[in-house]
Structure 1
Amino acid sequence: MKLRIATYNIHKGVSAFGRKARIHGIKEAIDLLQADLVFLQEVQGQHDHHAELHTHWPQEGQHDFLAGESHHAAYGMNAVYEHGHHGNALLSRYPISSFVNHDVSDHAYEQRGILHAVVRVAEVDVHCFVIHLGLFAASRRRQVQALIQAIKKDLPADAPLIIAGDFNDWGKRLSHTLYQELGVFEAFDIDASHGASRFSLKGMRSMFGKNTSKHARTFPASLPWFCLDRVYLRGFKVSDATVMTGAPWSALSDHVPITANLELLEKTPSK
């Protein structure tokens, strides 16, 4: 079974400082990706000020607006304020069996969550985690540990995983922990197309503290340099992964999206 996925921080659908609405352009651009699963961060569930300021601002939450008629949507509300709220979302062509939002806020100044949605694909439950980690390294380490604990506690050890989003991991320090603890690989890693066959070698390298990861540069959108956005996988093979640079992406958000074409490895159907 083949899947096309994307991950994208949409900056709440507005330009810097909220001066210009970008949400309609973002919808058109996401539709062009033709992705089966779209992992979104900084999704505005409600924003009364933007609705008053911008003509044709969507009446529904951005997750439902972006999903349209082609996708199902799950939304995890993280940051709540007087005039609205925002969080993470998953758009899926396939039915979403269930979803839950894990509060991983590390301190009073950042409200963060991890959205876990179960998508039914070819009679297999694919577990999708939409990530937007904190701005401080210590917070990110604790949030990743919370993710690992939830996965180990709630999921079968061989359950197919897609963990995607904005990791804010400027120094690429989190990957080796995820490799070792969850048996995942990142879509842009060396020889990622070989999938599970390289887990053992990757694990050995990371155990010795060698960072062999080659993640995609996705921030800032005008000249991507920092590797903030990631796609970690288990139970899949990657045929190709792409950073969507240039027009229209450079003018829509402060991040550019990643796309990846995947193949779900054979697995006994879930009961």
Structure 2
Amino acid sequence: MVLIASYNIRKAIAADRRRRPERILDVLAEIGADVVLMQEADRRFGERHSAIPFHMLAEQGRYRAVPYDIRHGSIGWHGNAVLVSHAVEIVRHQPFHLPALEPRGAVLADLRVGGRDLRVVGMHLDLSGLVRRRQARAILAQLDEQTEALPTLLAGDLNEWTSGGCLRDFGGHHVPVPLGPSFHARRPVGRLDRMFVSRGVRVEASGVHSSMLTRTASDHLPVWARIAIG
């Protein structure tokens, strides 16, 4: 079994409007996932460095970041990052370029967990419904261009409040994972954080991780899925 989490960390800005990366790390320790797909993982302004300082990630000792190495000091690509535990092997990785009115992207990582290969895609889609659908189709097209087909899990903050839109695009190719409302963290009503899986991935359990800590660490709650590969 592999535990995957997806979490919009809001640049590590907590409910008190202060940047508290240590709270995000505490949340990740609380969940204990093997793989974490993060959104808003980089700061918005200036050098856009990682919202979680690399030395704090190293000191925690559980995770390492998939090294996209596109922007110095960034942990990912346009705020999308993938963290893996030391039991997970990073096989290959690449960024996805997306059509957008503002800088947006997605990230792919091919991983090996317990001798089995898994492809994960992390994403944070636009606020505009029309742009979201273009971005969803761009992600699916770039997945189709991969030289090797692998069992795949896609996850992230889709910014989709309805049951249609980009959900219909992803749902035409992948199976949606049952998840509950994850936004706003203090009183969640929106199902903005989503997961989808391809053939070859079996979801054993899934949900939203809600605790006293997660309700103050970000404006989103993390979502998770326990999966079997193959």
Do they fold alike, i.e. is TM over 0.5?
A: yes
SS in 1 for 2:145: helix
Answering whether residue 155 of structure 2 is matched by residue 164 of structure 1, we say yes
2:41 maps to 43
When Rg is computed on C-alpha atoms for both structures, the one with the higher figure is 1
Task: Note if contact 1:79-1:111 (Cα within 8 Å) is conserved in structure 2.
Answer: no
Q: Does 1:106 align with 2:100?
A: yes
Change in Cα spacing, 1:11 to 1:76, as seen in structure 2 (3 Å) is farther
Check conservation: 2:8, 2:157, Cα contact below 8 A: yes
Structure 2 match to 1:5: 4
Range that drifts further, 159-168 or 90-99: 90-99
Cα distance in 2, alignment partners of residues 255 and 124 from structure 1:
31
Q: Is the 8 A contact 1:6 1:259 kept in 2?
A: yes
**Aligned counterparts of 1:73 and 1:50: Cα–Cα separation in 2:** 16
State the match for 2:89 in structure 1: 95
How far 1:105 sits from its partner (Å)? 3.9
Among candidates 139, 142, 146, match of residue 131 of structure 2: 139
Matched AA of 2:214: W
1:108-162: per-residue Cα shift (whole Å, max 9, x none)? xx110010111012333211100100010011000000011011111545x2001
1:78 deviates by: 9.0
Q: 1:66 to 1:244 in 2, by over 3 A?
A: farther
* Match for residue 20 of structure 2 among 19, 22, 43: 22
Cα distance between partner residues in 2 of 1:139 and 1:79: 25
- C-alpha spacing 1:167/1:262, structure 2 compared with 1 (3 Å): same
User: Retained in 2: the 8 A contact 1:88–1:131?
Assistant: yes
Greater shift in the superposed pair: 68-77 or 114-123: 68-77
- Aligned pair partner of 2:194 in 230, 236, 240: 230
Query: Aligned runs of 1:1-271 on 2, under 5 Å?
Result: 2-15=1-14, 19-44=17-42, 59-60=53-54, 65=57, 68-74=60-66, 87-93=79-85, 94-107=88-101, 110-157=102-149, 159-173=150-164, 174-180=166-172, 182=173, 184-188=174-178, 215-234=179-198, 235-265=200-230
- Regions of 4+ moved over 3 Å: 45-51, 75-80
Q: Which region of structure 1 is more displaced relative to structure 2, 19-28 or 130-139? A: 19-28
Q: Compare the two structures and name the one with the higher helix fraction.
A: 1
Task: Compute the TM-score of the two structures, normalised by the length of structure 2.
Answer: 0.85
Alignment length (residue pairs): 221
Structure 2 portions without partners, runs of 5+: none
The one-letter amino acid paired with 2:156 is G
Tell me how far apart the structure 2 counterparts of residues 172 and 160 of structure 1 sit (CA, whole Å).
25
Q: What percentage of residue pairs aligned between the two structures are identical?
A: 26
Q: Which runs of 5+ in 1 are unaligned?
A: 52-56, 189-214, 266-271
Q: Which amino acid aligns with 1:228?
A: L
Q: In the alignment, is the contact (CA less than 8 A) between 1:116 and 1:130 conserved in 2? A: yes
TM-score normalised by L of structure 1: 0.73
Return the alpha-carbon distance in structure 2 between the equivalents of residues 236 and 50 of structure 1: 34
